[in-house]
Chain A
Amino acid sequence: MKTKWFKHTLLTVLAVAVAFGSVSAASAASKLNGKIVINGSSALLPLTLQAANEFKKKNPKVKISASAAGSVTGPQSVRKGIADIGACDWDASLDVPGFKAFDGQVANKVAVIPFAAVVNKGVKATNLTTKQLQGIFSGKIKNWKEVGGDDAEIVVVNRAFGSGTRVNFQMKALDGTNFMSKGDNYKEVKSSGDMKTAIETTPNAIGYIDLVYVTDKMRALNINSYAPTEANIISGKYTVWAYGYYMTKGKPTGAVKAFIEYVQSKEFQNGSLKKLKFIPISAMKN
């Protein structure tokens, strides 16, 4: 009896000792390695993950953990010190509609994100001017026949306030005019994925989305007669695009700096980044 009891105690003590030992060993090891935490825009997440994988292969000692919520969480996490890099669809060091500038943060351009106004496949209209887009998204134009389509009511699908895609679409495609916020044929969705489903399944629907998400069940509209293609964006004819930024607290240093430089490098920009349907920043002249 006594020996058994003694064995149990001994085992427990040993287990506890081992557990503590391994914890302290792990924390000691992580101090030696560089560690990068990335949070923010879900539009940039595919790019970030791809870059992280490639970067880790070259620098096995650096640990990178990336996650995404909404664009604004990026600069917010950086301000709170939770993340080293905040991915954001707009330059968060400046004021944009609805969001104040984040002081003391540096915006590092990493990619060009094209956006497209998209409609359900059944919609006949193929081209809209900025004026027409403003009218539709503010609720003044209510029927497709007013803009060259069939006689059917327009269903407007919008992203919720705070979405980076929404901020960019409002600035670039609507010249800053306000969205409608009520109506029988108006609904809001919470992510790019939901936007995709809504446009695909709702007849007469119009919305907007990152070009990456456009499928063959929906149609990307020409805006002011120009299609959303890489060539039109680079030549400046299609204006609805935005830079994606990595926000950092002050100028980036150490592992963070190396990572951002890798993402900005020619090798990554012209390789994996292009494959993911983003456009290299070096392609833009302005």
Chain B
Amino acid sequence: MLDVKASSGGGVAGELGRSLHTRSGRSFDRRTRLSFYNRTFKVICIASAIFVCLILFSILFLMGRTGMLTFNEVSVAEFFFSTEWVPENEQYGALVFISGTFVLTALTMLISVPISVLVAVFLAEMSPRWLRTLLRPVLDLLVGIPSVVYGFLGMTILIPVLRDITGTNIGDGLLAAAIVLTIMVLPTISRISDDAITAVPKKYRDASYALGASRFQTIVKVVLPAARSGIMYAGILGMARAIGETMAVVMVIGNTPQLASALFQPTAVLTSNIVMQIANVPFDSTWNYALYMMGFLLLLISLLMIVAIRMLQRKGAVS
């Protein structure tokens, strides 16, 4: 009980030192105990890390392996290059969904990135301080709204409005989905771009103004290029969210397996098709495997994007 008194007086380091000195020779003294705790803690940490990796790899493995079974019945060329998705007739062409996903994402980015960057520039460069402190938390809150809420509002409010404006019969389609996705990813992109622009050192702006540049010139020619990698990072993050988004899209895209030739023609994307059909397919069917393959494709796309984000981050750190 000697070390108890000592520890109450001295600091942690002293306590450790003393307890090491007063080794009593008993089998489970303080030092063994400490090393036991340390080792256990280390093992638990490593186990957790391994656990997470295991989950990721088993998901990849399961999706990939099940997806590959598709190609026992369907040729690779048909799956990737045919637009005929008629599972009841054994036709599994996924081109409609793959191209739908890319077109929809491109359209979303086309609308959302310019607006987001403008919002970010306003927030970081132009707004008065009180407005900035008000708007930033609001945008943070918007990021957290569940996507199904956006989808529902899109279906009940946006689509009737689109129908009235354009005079089309349905209103579902790429444009409606892109607008909903834009509203969804806008807060994400603008908040991160905002941070990137705020992080540009003040001396850049000072130097630009000293050279006689106007505020517009400073922002466009100096600040935005300096924040470029951060803004691209924001864009990719938004894109990753847009590609994987399911609930909001499935409610407004129309879910018809046809290549969209117009902005208002019902079509389908990878996520919406999976969620539409997965509940209704027989377990051991090519149809099921084809849906898994589509999920695997989505997984690969988002992994690629994460790799891209990592590379951008590294580049940003170096420059």
Contacts and interface: CB of A to CB of B under 8 A. Distances in A.
Interaction A to B: yes
Interface of A: 1-2, 5, 69-73, 76, 80, 97-99, 153, 155, 160-163, 181-190, 194, 197, 201-204
Given A155-B169, A161-B88, A182 B280 contact: no
Contacts of B194: none
A183 B256 contact: yes
Nearest to A98: B88
B255 A99 contact: no
Nearest to B155: A197
A40 B35 CA distance: 54
Contacts of B277: 160-162
A236 B49 CA distance: 65
Which range holds the interface residue count of chain B? 35 or more
27 contacts: A1-B30, A73-B279, A73-B280, A98-B88, A99-B282, A153-B169, A161-B87, A161-B88, A162-B279, A162-B280, A163-B280, A183-B256, A186-B266, A187-B172, A187-B254, A187-B255, A187-B256, A188-B254, A188-B256, A189-B255, A190-B250, A190-B275, A190-B276, A194-B251, A197-B156, A201-B155, A201-B159
B281 A72 contact: yes
Given A184-B265, A190-B250, A201-B160, A72 B280 contact: yes
A76 B285 CA distance: 12
A201 B171 CA distance: 11
Given A190-B250, A197-B155, A201-B155, A185 B169 contact: yes
A1 B280 contact: no
Nearest to B277: A160
Given A161-B87, A190-B276, A72 B282 contact: yes
Given A1-B3, A72-B281, A202 B156 contact: no
A82 to B, nearest CB: 10
Nearest to A178: B88
Given A160-B276, A201-B155, A181 B257 contact: yes
B256 A186 contact: yes
B283 interface: yes
Given A153-B169, A185-B169, A160 B255 contact: yes
B170 interface: yes
- A-B pairs with the 3 shortest C-beta distances? A162-B280, A70-B280, A187-B254
Given A72-B282, A182-B257, A187 B170 contact: yes
SS class, residues of chain A in contact with chain B: loop
B282 A76 contact: yes
Contacts of B251: 194
Interface in B272-307: 275-277, 279-283
A194 B155 CA distance: 10
A182 B255 CA distance: 10
B279 A76 contact: no
Interface string B248-265: 001100111110001001
A184 B280 contact: no
A183 B262 CA distance: 12
A1 B282 CA distance: 62
A202 B170 contact: yes
Contacts of A80: 283
B198 interface: no
B280 to A, nearest CB: 3
B199 interface: no
Contacts of A201: 155-156, 159-160
Nearest to A4: B4
Contacts of A186: 256, 266
Nearest to A162: B280
Contacts of B275: 190
A5 B250 CA distance: 56
A98 to B, nearest CB: 5
B11 to A, nearest CB: 15
Contacts of A2: 1
B239 to A, nearest CB: 25
A158 B159 CA distance: 18
A35 B50 CA distance: 37
Nearest to A194: B251
B279 A70 contact: yes
Contacts of A72: 280-282
A155 B4 CA distance: 82
Contacts of B30: 1
Nearest to B87: A161
Nearest to A99: B282
A163 B159 CA distance: 25
A239 to B, nearest CB: 24
Contacts of A182: 256-258
B33 interface: yes
A60 to B, nearest CB: 33
Nearest to B258: A182
Given A1-B3, A190-B250, A76 B255 contact: no
A186 to B, nearest CB: 6
A181 B259 CA distance: 12
